[in-house]
């Protein structure tokens, strides 16, 4: 089966619609997403497109590429719809939406190139519905755009290898495209893109015992193209930050993550493998089943290429101390293609008893996750809101029979049909979560409720919110750049020095401590209402009250 432009266009539209579901009603998701949003918004309001900042602090984690994309999408939206979009979430999420709509057809195209059309379609479906991809494609973070860049780089690597293997010179646009995607990747995430960009061709050369094809990249001058993209901004930020950017982004952020677990994310090797069942669901079980077939077909050029893409990247991020699930997301297209090939191209293999036992255990984990996906939305709604949603109810009714069908088909060893049933389960369950559940979880959507109340009750147009008990970045994005996330003592000092127009937001358990710091003050306080909820970032139950001092 060959795929045509219509197939790819349809895949792109489906991916676009799935990533669009619930996008406008999804609040900023703490903690990373609102930091990206706020830094991008501050670029727009300040006119400074070089120095990335969150409030008055530099955000020197990676270059400015992703912020420029979010600034561009938001400024276009602002030009069309007006300035009110600056504090809305959806304009900042447009780059990840577009990236998701391009990644899926590109994955299908590469799967078709390496194997056949049905493999490409199945690979696209497995990637499109994988839990981690769905989560990242809904957020205004860097990971979906970075995935698009790395996927493009890997495609260009394979096209270079394919040209040289046919004893034909690599077309110049392919060589230039490789170095352009590497340069763009550096502008997005810095040196991280060098891992897949350089390790894949080196590993493939080792497996093929052929290094001559690397000349197709035109390395004698190609690196100049890459540096021409990133150097202007590097020079500018070096001047603006007086050298702080590189010492913090590379020294503290990049190299620091290698040696130490940052922000409580230090975990031992094996973490990414342990969470794979959930992160790549519904494809994870079929990937496990694919391992014997992948090993048997390891000498195929297509398999060598995909392994060269996956293993170096995966091993690096298992080895470094800091671990987050999205670190291995750039390997997911390759994993999806190998998994699809095991279902569509390679025949079933007899397995020893011990292997069947291990696959059965993994299958039970997979089934448990699938059934949890079917009912999780309803359980969350009832737990937090004591209510039900018709949309989520319809999703349960649609997803559960498909999940049961997938289980029965696996039992009958009809794995290809089971995979398609599981993909259908994921699509329906995810749509129910984003459309019928998350928008109605008011108990955990604290920042939108606080920001809305602040806009309603603030005593002055220029009022500033001071929040010692609830200090999530989403509150800054929604309530304004000048929001003060201070500790209790500093909050008391700030209120004493700036009583006019300041509004205090404090948890009930912290009021007595705050009052102790205010004992010598002659200010009187007025209660302006309260909000109860759960901070999902740390699980704390909060009873927040607004106070005005005069």
State residue 172's pLDDT score.
96
Q: What is the DSSP string of 216-264?
A: GG-HHHHHHHHHHHHHHHHHHHHHHHTTHHHIIIIIIIIHHHHHS-GGG
Spell out the residues 6+ positions from residue 92 whose beta carbon is closer than 8 angstroms to its own. 36, 37, 40, 41, 70, 73, 74, 140
Return the closest-CA partner of residue 304 out of 416, 424, 205: 205
Structure-model confidence comparison of residues 12 and 322, the more confident one: 12
Of 95-99, 175-179, 381-385, least confident by mean pLDDT is 381-385
Spell out the residues 6+ positions from residue 294 whose beta carbon is closer than 8 angstroms to its own. 303, 307, 338, 342
State residue 256's pLDDT score.
52
Instruction: Tell me the per-residue pLDDT of 450-486, one tens digit each, with 9 for 90 and over.
Output: 999 999 998 888 899 999 999 999 999 999 999 999 9
pLDDT at residue 1 tops 80: no
Instruction: Tell me the per-residue pLDDT of 386-426, one tens digit each, with 9 for 90 and over.
Output: 898 899 999 999 999 999 999 999 999 999 999 999 999 99
State residue 244's pLDDT score.
86
Question: Confidence class of residue 251 from pLDDT cuts 50, 70 and 90?
Answer: low
- Helices (runs of H) and strands (runs of E) counted in the chain: 24, 6
DSSP label of 266: B
Rounded (to 5) percent helix, strand, coil in the chain? 70, 5, 25
- Considering Cα of 39, then 42, then 48, then 53, what sign does the dihedral take? negative
Q: Is 83 exposed, middle or buried (0-12, 13-18, 19+ CB in 10 A)?
A: exposed
Spell out the residues 6+ positions from residue 286 whose beta carbon is closer than 8 angstroms to its own. 126, 339, 342, 343, 415, 418, 419, 422
Return the closest-CA partner of residue 439 out of 489, 384, 495: 384
Query: Is 466 strand, coil or helix?
Result: strand
Q: How far apart are CA 435 and CA 22, in angstroms?
A: 5
263's tokens: 């922000």
Name the pairing type of β-strands 502-507 and 464-466: parallel
State residue 151's pLDDT score.
98
State residue 350's pLDDT score.
87
Which residue do the tokens 């550096």 mark? 186
- Considering Cα of 123, then 126, then 128, then 133, what sign does the dihedral take? negative
Which residue do the tokens 């750039």 mark? 330
State residue 264's pLDDT score.
47
| Residue 115 C-alpha from the chain's centroid | 28
Q: How far apart are CA 143 and CA 134, in angstroms?
A: 11
Instruction: Tell me the per-residue pLDDT of 295-311, one tens digit each, with 9 for 90 and over.
Output: 999 999 999 999 999 99
DSSP label of 28: P
């Amino acid at each position: 089966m060959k795929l045509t432009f219509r197939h790819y266009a349809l895949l792109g539209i489906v991916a676009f619609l799935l990533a669009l579901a619930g996008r406008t009603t999804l609040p900023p998701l703490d903690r990373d997403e609102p930091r990206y949003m706020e830094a991008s918004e501050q670029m727009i309001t300040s006119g400074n497109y070089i120095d990335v900042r969150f409030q008055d602090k530099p955000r020197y984690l990676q270059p400015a590429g992703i912020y420029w994309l979010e600034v561009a999408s938001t400024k276009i939206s602002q030009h069309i719809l007006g300035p009110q979009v600056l504090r809305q979430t959806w304009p900042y999420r447009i780059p990840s939406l577009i990236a998701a709509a391009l990644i899926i057809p590109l994955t299908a195209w590469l799967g078709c190139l390496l194997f056949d059309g049905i493999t490409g379609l199945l690979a696209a479906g497995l990637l499109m519905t994988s839990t981690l991809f769905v989560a990242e494609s809904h957020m205004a973070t860097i990971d979906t755009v970075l995935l698009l860049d790395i996927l493009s780089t890997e495609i260009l690597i394979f096209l270079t290898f394919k040209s040289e293997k046919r004893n034909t010179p690599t077309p110049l646009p392919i060589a230039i495209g490789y170095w352009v995607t590497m340069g763009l990747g550096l502008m997005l995430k810095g040196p991280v893109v060098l891992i897949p960009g350089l390790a894949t061709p080196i590993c493939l050369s080792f497996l093929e015992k052929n290094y001559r094809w690397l000349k197709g990249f035109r390395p004698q001058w190609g690196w100049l193209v890459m540096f021409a993209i990133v150097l202007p901004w590097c020079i500018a930020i070096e001047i603006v930050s007086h050298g702080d950017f590189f010492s913090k982004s590379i020294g503290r952020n990049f190299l620091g993550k290698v040696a130490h677990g940052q922000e409580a994310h230090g975990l031992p090797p094996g973490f990414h493998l342990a969470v794979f069942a959930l992160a790549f669901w519904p494809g994870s079980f079929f990937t496990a089943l694919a391992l014997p077939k992948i090993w048997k077909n390891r000498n195929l050029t297509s398999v060598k290429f995909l392994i060269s893409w996956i293993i170096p990247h995966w091993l690096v991020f298992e080895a470094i101390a800091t671990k987050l699930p999205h670190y291995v997301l750039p390997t997911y297209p390759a994993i999806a293609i190998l998994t699809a090939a095991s279902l569509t191209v390679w025949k079933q293999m007899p397995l020893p008893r011990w292997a069947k036992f291990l696959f059965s255990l993994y299958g039970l984990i997979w089934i448990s996750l699938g059934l949890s996906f079917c009912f999780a939305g309803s359980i969350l709604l009832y737990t937090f809101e004591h209510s039900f949603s018709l949309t989520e109810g319809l999703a349960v009714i649609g997803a559960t029979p498909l999940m049961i069908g997938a289980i029965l088909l696996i039992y009958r060893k009809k794995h290809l049909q089971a995979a398609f049933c599981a993909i259908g389960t994921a699509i329906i369950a995810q749509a129910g979560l984003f459309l019928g559940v998350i928008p109605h979880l008011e108990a955990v959507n604290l920042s939108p409720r606080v920001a809305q109340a602040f806009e309603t009750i603030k005593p002055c147009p220029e009022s500033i919110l001071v929040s010692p008990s609830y200090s999530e970045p989403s509150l800054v994005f929604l309530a304004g750049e000048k929001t003060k996330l201070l500790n209790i003592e500093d909050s008391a000092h700030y209120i004493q020095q700036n009583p006019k127009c300041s509004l205090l937001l404090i948890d009930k358990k912290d009021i007595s401590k705050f009052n102790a710091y205010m004992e010598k003050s002659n200010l009187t306080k007025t209660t302006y209402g309260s909000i109860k909820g759960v901070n999902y970032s740390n699980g704390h139950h909060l009873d927040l009250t607004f106070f005005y001092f005069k």
